[in-house]
Structure 1
Amino acid sequence: MTEIEIGRSKRARPAYNLDDIAIVPSRRTRDPEAVSVAWRIDAYTFDTPVLAAPMDSVVSPATAIEIGRLGGLGVLDLDGLWTRYDDPAPLLAEIAELPEAGVTKRLQEMYSAPIREELIATRIAEIRAGGVTVAAALSPVRTAQFAKAVVDAGVDIFVIRGTTVSAEHVPAPESTREPLNLKQFIYELDVPVIVGGCSTYQAALHLMRTGAAGVLVGFGGGAAHTTRDVLGVRVPMASAIADVAAARRDYMDESGGRYVHVIADGGMGRSGDLPKAIACGADAVMVGSPLARATEAPGHGAHWGIEATHAELPRGERVQLGTVGPLAQILHGPSSQPDGTMNLVGALRRAMATTGYSDLKEFQRVEVVVNAAR
């Protein structure tokens, strides 16, 4: 791969965002109704390859149920307000109305309340009562502490999600807390685990070797994320997805055929980003800001991630997105907006139909081009 010389002592390879690439039409087209966007991970099949990001502005128990009924998978954030407060609705409404100057401090105050195990069980039970697949997420730092409560409560899919998750964490010399051994942890669980984020070939390969059913690619929370500004850490999504897809291919050879799902997480604000993510090799996508615009979203049109609440070094912000329509319309249309904020699944179907592909695995082979002018 061609590298660029930054200076005499440093070289780097070019990397691309989803905005930098485009899908190329082929000689064949299909009717959108003849296209399948179904997705399966472990024992669970979904009509659409869309996961709702575990963010308090996006997923509540009620919206997790509705997203499940619409064919997707809503992932509840167990680090969030729903497991800290009996009724977080007034706090969610307050966050949406906070003046810009006081947002971060108030978020830090709200999220300083302890996570309560009984509320973990309560929230998972609420989603299960809706008759949909139950998925819930914890950050790596809290996974060991609360994992048993999550599994005992009956979660179907366990998500371990952080800004950057590795299979090899080196603790501080004075630390008394044992780092999470992902391989042992996943081996001992009776439920499939999705873990991430990661953004490089090597990191993804290590996560796949832990036994994860899926890996998240990216840093999550794209619209509300400031990790690049705060830490200087970021890999553009198109290149990150393609690199991790290469790790999936090589891990299949290494493991004798075990397939690990690649889920693009973050940076997908418009419907056109979904087919481009899958074209780069993703099996499914995790989205936040498009669903935060739903009239049912718990954030009331505001959007933020758990990184924005960090007590020492927040790496996110609350952004005001507004609302465009109900979840059903955002996912399946009909769209009343020409800007890609509605009918996400319909846009994916039409992109696949326009290029002549009949299912998601086939569509991963579609030709893409780079916009050299960007």
Structure 2
Amino acid sequence: MTEIEIGRGKRGRRAYAFDDIAVVPSRRTRDPKEVSIAWQIDAYRFELPFLAAPMDSVVSPSTAIRIGELGGLGVLNLEGLWTRYEDPQPLLDEIAELDEATANRRLQEIYSAPIQEELIGRRIKEVRDSGVVTAAALSPQRTAQFSKAVVDAGVDIFVIRGTTVSAEHVSGAAEPLNLKQFIYELDVPVIVGGCATYTASLHLMRTGAAGVLVGFGGGAAHTTRNVLGIQVPMATAVADVAAARRDYMDESGGRYVHVIADGGVGWSGDLPKAVACGADAVMMGSPLARANDAPGKGHHWGMEAVHEDVPRGKLVDLGIAGTTEEILTGPSHSPDGSMNFFGALKRAMATTGYSELKEFQRVEVTVADSQHSR
């Protein structure tokens, strides 16, 4: 790819966000009823190709169950309010009343309570007993400490999620998590991320992960670019990681690792763009935070907002769009792309003539800068 000269001593690639691209129609169209958006990872099949982000504003045990019933996968945040407090509802109510400008200090105080191992097992069991596929997430820093409790509780899919996760973390303070050994010794599939480059994702694929999360610096509640100056626009990141998946398949003799776009899918039109760039599924946070049955009731924040030294996220008031079901599968009552995400994906695939997600990854896209496309 051609690099752009930034100055005499520095060059850089042009990278694209989902807003910068658009899907191109083909010569064929199709009946939406003939389109399948089903997704299977390891032994688990989902009618909707998505995971709900492990954020306290989005996923509680009850919403994880509801999302599972609707065909997706709700991922519990095992470092959040539900594993620190017996009853987090009063704190959720308080957070909803916080002033956005000063919320971080109070969030830091709330999340300073210790994680209770007993609550980890109890929350996972709540979801598991409902009969839906159970997924839960830990950061790399806490995976070794709590992974036994997670596995013993019967989790089906283990998610290791951080702002960025590396297979070659270097630390003189503590022994880093050996991802390859950890995944090899685990009896459940592991999804790990985020990553945003070809090289980083290729190294994560070599650890044995079933899927990799793509995204760094995106998301409605993140301020990573402002705080650290780091971001890779999502369309380019997903396409680069999809290329790594292709090369890893050749290298490994055919082992397929799922690419999951984590961030940047704020509106229904972003979803087909993510798949067009090579994603098998998406992880969504902010769209679901706008559900009237979400834990945050329209308020949204992530674990980056509670970092004790360098917060890289904030509390945002997104408002209410509808129920979780309406946001995921409709019916929609709004033309702005805030509802019926997967109805929109089906319609986009039908309009361009594709019947399955893997085929749709080959659809043509065009660069259509959002500032000049209308």
Normalising by structure 2, what TM-score?
0.98
**Structure 2 letter corresponding to 1:334:** P
Residue equivalent to 2:251? 254
Instruction: Determine whether 1:111 maps to 2:111.
Output: yes
Which deviations, in whole Å up to 9, do the C-alpha atoms of 1:116-154 show, x marking residues without a partner? 110000000000111100000001110110001100010
Question: Residues 271 and 7 of structure 1: is their aligned pair in 2 closer, same or farther, counting only changes over 3 Å?
Answer: same
CA distance in 2, matches of 1:356, 1:347: 14
SS at match of 1:19: helix
Which deviations, in whole Å up to 9, do the C-alpha atoms of 1:203-239 show, x marking residues without a partner? 0000000000000000276000000000001100000
CA distance in 2, matches of 1:193, 1:332: 27
Q: Is the 8 A contact 2:221 2:313 kept in 1?
A: yes
SS at match of 2:6: strand
CA distance in 2, matches of 1:220, 1:212: 22
SS at match of 2:121: helix
Q: Is the 8 A contact 2:92 2:296 kept in 1?
A: yes
CA distance in 2, matches of 1:317, 1:221: 13
**Structure 1 letter corresponding to 2:309:** E
Residue equivalent to 1:137? 137
Counterparts of 1:65-84 in structure 2, within 5 Å, are: 65-84=65-84
**Structure 1 letter corresponding to 2:178:** N
Runs of at least 5 residues in structure 1 that lack an aligned partner in the other structure: none
SS at match of 2:220: helix
**Alignment counterpart, residue 236 of structure 2, candidates 235, 239, 248:** 239
Q: Is the 8 A contact 1:160 1:193 kept in 2?
A: yes
Q: Is the 8 A contact 2:217 2:231 kept in 1?
A: no
Residue equivalent to 1:228? 225
CA distance in 2, matches of 1:151, 1:93: 31
**Alignment counterpart, residue 179 of structure 2, candidates 177, 182, 193:** 182
**Structure 1 letter corresponding to 2:332:** S
CA distance in 1, matches of 2:277, 2:93: 38
Q: Is the 8 A contact 1:217 1:263 kept in 2?
A: yes
Residue equivalent to 1:165? 165
**Structure 2 letter corresponding to 1:208:** M
Question: Residues 359 and 77 of structure 1: is their aligned pair in 2 closer, same or farther, counting only changes over 3 Å?
Answer: same
CA distance in 1, matches of 2:158, 2:218: 19
Instruction: Determine whether 1:274 maps to 2:271.
Output: yes
Deviation at 1:33, TM superposition (A): 1.0
Deviation at 1:322, TM superposition (A): 1.1
**Structure 2 letter corresponding to 1:58:** V
CA distance in 2, matches of 1:369, 1:324: 30
Instruction: Determine whether 1:195 maps to 2:220.
Output: no
Instruction: Determine whether 1:11 maps to 2:8.
Output: no
Instruction: Determine whether 1:304 maps to 2:298.
Output: no
Q: How many residues align?
A: 371
Which deviations, in whole Å up to 9, do the C-alpha atoms of 1:247-279 show, x marking residues without a partner? 000000000000000000011110000100000
**Structure 1 letter corresponding to 2:363:** V
Residue equivalent to 1:265? 262
Runs of at least 5 residues in structure 2 that lack an aligned partner in the other structure: none
CA distance in 1, matches of 2:220, 2:101: 19
CA distance in 1, matches of 2:287, 2:137: 19
**Structure 1 letter corresponding to 2:67:** I
CA distance in 1, matches of 2:31, 2:262: 29
Q: Is the 8 A contact 1:221 1:304 kept in 2?
A: no
Instruction: Determine whether 1:207 maps to 2:208.
Output: no
Residue equivalent to 2:27? 27
Which deviations, in whole Å up to 9, do the C-alpha atoms of 1:87-122 show, x marking residues without a partner? 101101110111224300000000001111100000
Instruction: Determine whether 1:321 maps to 2:318.
Output: yes
CA distance in 2, matches of 1:291, 1:369: 28
Q: Which moved more, 1:319-328 or 1:256-265?
A: 319-328
Residue equivalent to 2:62? 62
SS at match of 1:74: strand
Q: Is the 8 A contact 2:37 2:47 kept in 1?
A: yes
Q: Is the 8 A contact 1:57 1:302 kept in 2?
A: yes
SS at match of 1:223: coil
SS at match of 2:261: strand
CA distance in 2, matches of 1:220, 1:3: 22
Deviation at 1:72, TM superposition (A): 0.3
Q: Is the 8 A contact 1:220 1:267 kept in 2?
A: no
SS at match of 1:270: coil
CA distance in 1, matches of 2:299, 2:43: 34
CA distance in 2, matches of 1:212, 1:58: 25
Question: Residues 288 and 347 of structure 1: is their aligned pair in 2 closer, same or farther, counting only changes over 3 Å?
Answer: same
**Structure 2 letter corresponding to 1:47:** E
Deviation at 1:316, TM superposition (A): 0.2
Residue equivalent to 1:121? 121
Q: Is the 8 A contact 2:269 2:337 kept in 1?
A: yes
Q: Is the 8 A contact 2:82 2:123 kept in 1?
A: yes
